[in-house]
Structure 1
C-alpha cells in the first residue's frame, strides 16, 4: 500500500470544466506511474468545475483538491501545496501534453535539479496545437524578454509541462494567481539561484471542443507586465538614466548659448523641454532604486549587484535630505543671483532669452533637489522598525 512517506512524485493538473479530456490525462499519468515504477499520485486541483470533472477524477482514483480562489496560478498553488510527493510535475488537463512520457523530467529531478522545464520548440509542436500568434510572436518575444531581463537559459518560458522539487518551489514565495504564474516560477527560481534545466517535450492539439481558457492579448500582457515589474532596471532605471543624461547634458550645453545642428537650431524653448525630460528621467531612476530597496527590505527575490548593495548601505533619509538640500540650495542661489542682477539694473526690462537660459538650470536643480528629499523621506519610512505578525 502506498503511504504518504513513500510518495515520490505528484502529478498535478489544474482543472476547470475539463470533463472532455480529464479522464484520458489521468489514465496516461497513472499509466506512466505503473509502467515506470515511480511511486506517485495524481492530484486534480479543481477550480470550481460544474461539468462533473470532480466525479470523473475520483472515479478514476485521482485525488481531488478543491481550490476556491479562481485563476490558473491559484489552482496550481492549491494543488502543489496539497501534494504529498517530493517532486511535482504539473501539466494542463486538456490532453495537449503527454503524461505517459515523463521520464526526462523525473531523471533530471532525481539528479538534483530544482526546476525542469519542458521545451515544446525542441520536442515538437503538432500542426494546429499552438496558434501562429503564440508560436511566432507571443512565446518567442516573451521568452526573449525573460532571458534578457534575467540570467535565464530557458528557451520556452511558458511551457505548461514542468517538474520541480516541491520544497524548493514553495520556498521562493509564489504569489500570482493568473496565467503569469508560468513566468513567476521561472523568474523567481532563477533569482533564487535554483538549479534549472530544460528537456524536450511535445505539444499536440488539445482534445476539447470548447475554446481554451487562455486569452491571448490579456494573458500575454499579464506575462509582460510581470516581467517588467520584476525588473525595475529595464522598466525604470535604463530608460530613466538615458532620459536624465540626455536632458542634463543637453541642458548644460544650451545654458552657454544656442546650438545649431545643420539647418536646425536649438535654443531656450528646447531647454525648457529638456528640463522636463531630465526631471522625468531622474524620477524614473529614483523610482527604480526605491523599488529595489523596498523589495530588498521585504525580502523579495530581485536581481542584485555589488553597486546596488553599496547604494543600499548608504541610502538613508539623512543622506537623501542632504543631497537634495544641496541641489535645491544651488538652484535657489542661481535664482537669487538673477534677482540681484535684475535689481542692479533697476528692475528694468530683461532679455527673455537670456533670463530663461539661466533660469532653466536653476529651476531644474530645485526640482531635482525636492525629488531627492522626498525619496530620502520614503527611505526613512522603510527604515522604521516594525513588529511583524
Structure 2
C-alpha cells in the first residue's frame, strides 16, 4: 500500500466538504500557508505529499488540510492519490506552489454544477516577469497544438487548475502517473464527449523551484510524457494503478 491519509476531514471522520481541492505537494512548505489560506469556505484541501523533506505534510496538517502520503514519485501519482482520497461530488486540482489561486476555482465549480461544462480548465495569464518561463511556455504551446490535432479541442493551455465531477473523473480510468496525467485527463474527456471549457486565470511567479518544468530538461521530459499520451488510440483505456 503506497497511499495513506490523515487530517481533520479524512473520509469517515465527518465534516464532509462540498468540494475537494487536490494539491500535489513536493517541498512546498513556504507556499502552503498562502495556498491553504485561499481555499474557499466549506471546501476541503487535500495535500498530497509526494516525499517532501521540508515538513510540508506537518505544516499542511497544522493548517487544517487533509494530508495524503503518496510514496510513488510523479505528478500523476500525486494527483490520482488525491482523487482517490476525495469524497466530494466535485474535485478540483491546483498546484501547491502559490502560482495559482485556488479561490479562482469558484466559477469553475459553478459551471460544472450548472451542467454547462463537464471539465473546466484554467488558461494561465502571467502577471509578472518570470511567472511562466519561455521553455515552459514553448512546451505548452507545442502540446496544445498536438492536442487540437488529436481531439479537435481548441484549448490554449494544459494548466493544472481544473474542476470536474469526481465520479466522471474516476470513470476516465486515468493511468498515467507522471507528467502526462493532466493531458491524459483532457484527451480521455474529449474522447468521451465531455464539454470542456477554458477560462483565463492569473499566473504568478511560483514559490521555490519547479519540480517539472523549471528547466529545459524538465520541460523536455514532460513533453515526452505527454506525447506518449497523445499516441493513445481513441477509446483505449488502461486500468488505473
Q: TM exceeds 0.5? A: yes
2:224 corresponds in structure 1 to 221
- Pick the structure with greater CA Rg: 1
Distance (Å, rounded) in 1 between the aligned partners of 2:223 and 2:126: 22
1:63 corresponds in structure 2 to 66
2:196 corresponds in structure 1 to 196
Contact 2:22 2:79 in 1 (8 A): yes
Contact 2:109 2:164 in 1 (8 A): no
Q: Of the two structures, which has the highest relative contact order with CA contacts closer than 8 Å and spacing of 6 or more?
A: 2
Matched, 1:8 2:11: no
Match of 1:41 among 37, 44, 49: 44
Contact 2:144 2:156 in 1 (8 A): yes
Distance (Å, rounded) in 1 between the aligned partners of 2:15 and 2:26: 30
| CA root-mean-square deviation | 2.1
- In structure 1, the gaps of 5 or more residues are 34-38, 232-291, 302-389
- What is the deviation of 1:115? 0.8
Match of 1:134 among 114, 136, 141: 136
User: Which structure has greater strand proportion?
Assistant: 2
1:159 corresponds in structure 2 to 159
User: Which structure has greater helix proportion?
Assistant: 1
SS at the partner of 2:226? Answer: helix
Distance (Å, rounded) in 1 between the aligned partners of 2:15 and 2:34: 28
Kindly report which structure 2 residues correspond to 1:151-300, keeping only aligned pairs within 5 A, or say none: 151-156=152-157, 158-208=158-208, 211-214=209-212, 215-227=218-230, 229-231=231-233, 300=237
- What is the deviation of 1:7? 2.4
Which stretches of structure 1, 4 residues or more, deviate above 6 A after TM superposition?
none
Output one character per residue of 1:205-240: Cα deviation in whole Å (capped at 9) or x when no partner: 0121xx31111111122212221x215xxxxxxxxx
1:347 corresponds in structure 2 to none
Contact 1:7 1:85 in 2 (8 A): yes
SS at the partner of 1:202? Answer: strand
Distance (Å, rounded) in 1 between the aligned partners of 2:156 and 2:55: 37
Distance (Å, rounded) in 2 between the aligned partners of 1:150 and 1:116: 16
SS at the partner of 2:102? Answer: coil
Distance (Å, rounded) in 1 between the aligned partners of 2:69 and 2:135: 33
SS at the partner of 1:100? Answer: helix
2:119 corresponds in structure 1 to 115
- In structure 2, the gaps of 5 or more residues are 1-8, 213-217
SS at the partner of 2:103? Answer: coil
